[in-house]
Chains A and B, each alone.
Chain A
């Protein structure tokens, strides 16, 4: 299924999953709208000087985090990358805390200790990324190792980019997960560029083909089709909890903005951007749902109101007190991962 949908471009299949209800499909659209809306608001705040450091977004890649997260159970675990904001939202992190995070506020997820999208809310089963990519592939592999050791029917999922496939931790994680046949889903977010480096300078062989070399299947999926991403992940998770081991899913997508706010992306041909604009994941899901009677305008208004309120709440959050910067380096008590929301109607 997944491979077949990979190169579909203009056509919008009605639904690529018999496992999604209309409510699921609307939920997926809502998550993508919320991701885009929050990131657009954060970009405004950045331009107003309220977001320190730089700003990174996942514009045009919303389906890559929304679809897979929808397919994961609340007791599964996610290691989330920087263009995957929808994952946090679907797990249950509030938009206000995310905007507070961007602004380095005390009420942000890390309380100002780390910036922008470097966060994971442990109370909803998420581990935040570090800048060294793809370190979290090994952490996700370790989570899956724990599930297997305890004989639990749970799975771990992580995202990583096309650039990550050049580093050793990619190999170590793929190999380890293959050797131990672990319940982990690897999502390669192939957005064509690692900063300014195109995939042609990154690898000689499409990395999805490498999965076979590690002893497990790899699928290339249309990363701008949220339902295709859901379905591919649902199947990968089924394999994982059935004890059949890992799956590599390559989400073929495009980074529509620069690496970060400072990057004008002039190294990307204009026609490439134009081509991918036509494949916008939100537009595609809207085209699916409007004929089914979903009131998309109302949904957009609802999301906007939520973000307006969240921005107000985040702007009211105090900055952290400088005197606390040296506190809480070590834990006095264990503070571990907890379960997040299970969204899919199939659970």
Chain B
């Protein structure tokens, strides 16, 4: 089984699907000749040609809107936002047109919107956001967020084949930092959670880059047995897996890299409060980015994004509760 970076796994998923299915194509800003701002589609234009590796005008609403049109006519576009932050300019098309189309009219919108998200490298307020909760709050969109190379490929293939609009959160800080064994060929990863590490004393629930922060923070923590649950999918949210971990461990820390208010973790906390209250041995604890824009300077950015030490401290406190 080949070893790939998270970024290579994303590329591999698109290559596999484009080779197998001529309906699949990629579109976005600077993704063709230049190969994408992060080089995710490097070499694609040589293999698939400019019609299927489409350099678009600088128009995010246009990218999402035309992708919708192509999809309802039977194509399977993969639309890249250069940065997840820019989806704010395509928000209306995604939320109002794509998200509501099937519910209203029975017309399915088979689009995948790739959102390179997250901070940690001085991207500043417009290149570091984690906007997934906007879309969790918008009925009709699925939202997935892989943390490993293997899942990056499998979730993307599943997203491309899904007849519904799927928002695919790919964390920029994982692109080259995370490597792993990735199966060759085509495979789908279910839109469900995954236990990243088994444990019994406490569970840390996270997704995307924060899975790695959680694993590192709890690798050796006073001999405690700490489970890490990787959500992988935010819509649908794997409520059964969340409740199973919460009931087994009785103590829960939830980590979001997104701003805290109404983040994915807030929904997870609500689900646990509603359905696993009797099984808890302490309050649900959240670690998240405070509700400020992501600042540029490294000292400021590190002060707001959840760090390994922040998670470790939260876990320690809850273990002692």
Contact = CB atoms under 8 A, between A and B. Distances in A.
A132 B163 contact: no
B69 interface: yes
Contact of B61 (A113, A145, A147, A172): A172
Interface string B51-69: 1100011010110111111
A136 B96 CA distance: 11
A188 to B, nearest CB: 18
A130 B100 CA distance: 9
Contact of A331 (B61, B65, B75, B108): B108
B107 A127 contact: yes
B286 interface: no
Given A128-B105, A336-B74, A337-B73, A138 B65 contact: yes
Nearest to B60: A172
Interface string A145-168: 111010000001000000000001
Contact of A139 (B97, B110, B139, B163): B97
Contacts of B73: 77, 142-143, 146-147, 336-337
A169 B93 CA distance: 10
B104 interface: yes
Interface stretch (A173-181, A243-251, A270-278, A305-313): A173-181
B75 to A, nearest CB: 5
A53 B96 CA distance: 19
A69 interface: no
Nearest to A115: B104
Contact of B163 (A77, A145, A334): A334
Contacts of A173: 62, 65
B207 interface: no
Nearest to B89: A168
Contacts of A130: 96-97, 100
Which of the listed residues B66, B101, B104, B106 has the most CB atoms from chain A within 10 Å of its own CB?
B66
Contact of B66 (A120, A127, A176, A333): A176
A141 interface: yes
Contacts of B62: 138, 141, 169, 172-173, 175-176
B61 A335 contact: no
Contacts of B51: 149
B232 interface: no
A328 interface: yes
Contact of B70 (A122, A128, A145): A145
A77 B65 CA distance: 15
| Among A137, A140, A145: residue with most chain B CB under 10 A | A145
A92 B105 CA distance: 16
A114 B104 CA distance: 6
A329 B61 contact: no
Most chain A C-beta atoms within 10 Å of own C-beta, residue among B67, B139, B163: B163
A144 interface: yes
A149 B51 CA distance: 7
Contacts of A140: 69
A171 to B, nearest CB: 8
Contacts of B93: 135, 138, 169
A113 B102 CA distance: 10
B92 interface: yes
Contacts of B69: 127, 138-146, 156
A18 interface: no
B69 to A, nearest CB: 2
A343 interface: no
Contacts of A114: 104-105
A127 B70 contact: no
B72 interface: yes
A90 B291 CA distance: 53
A175 B65 CA distance: 13
B92 A120 contact: no
A335 B59 contact: no
B97 A122 contact: no
B57 A142 contact: no
B97 A141 contact: no
A137 B69 CA distance: 10
B61 A138 contact: yes
Contact of B108 (A109, A136, A147, A336): A336
A118 interface: yes
Nearest to A77: B73
A143 B70 contact: yes
A233 interface: no
A110 interface: yes
A330 interface: yes
B121 interface: no
A59 interface: no
Nearest to B107: A122
A149 B25 contact: yes
Contacts of A156: 69
Given A127-B72, A143-B73, A176-B66, 13 more contacts: A135-B97, A138-B62, A138-B64, A139-B65, A142-B67, A142-B70, A142-B72, A145-B66, A169-B62, A173-B62, A175-B62, A330-B140, A335-B163
Interface of A: 77, 109-110, 113-114, 118-120, 122, 127-128, 130-132, 135-147, 149, 156, 168-169, 172-173, 175-176, 179, 328-337
14 contacts: A110-B105, A127-B107, A130-B96, A130-B97, A130-B100, A142-B65, A142-B73, A146-B69, A149-B51, A172-B61, A176-B56, A329-B139, A330-B164, A336-B73
Interface of B: 25, 51-52, 56-57, 59, 61-62, 64-75, 92-93, 96-97, 100-108, 110, 139-140, 142, 163-164
Please give me the 9 A-B residue pairs with the lowest Cβ-Cβ distance, nearest first: A142-B69, A138-B65, A142-B66, A331-B108, A172-B62, A146-B73, A143-B69, A139-B69, A172-B59
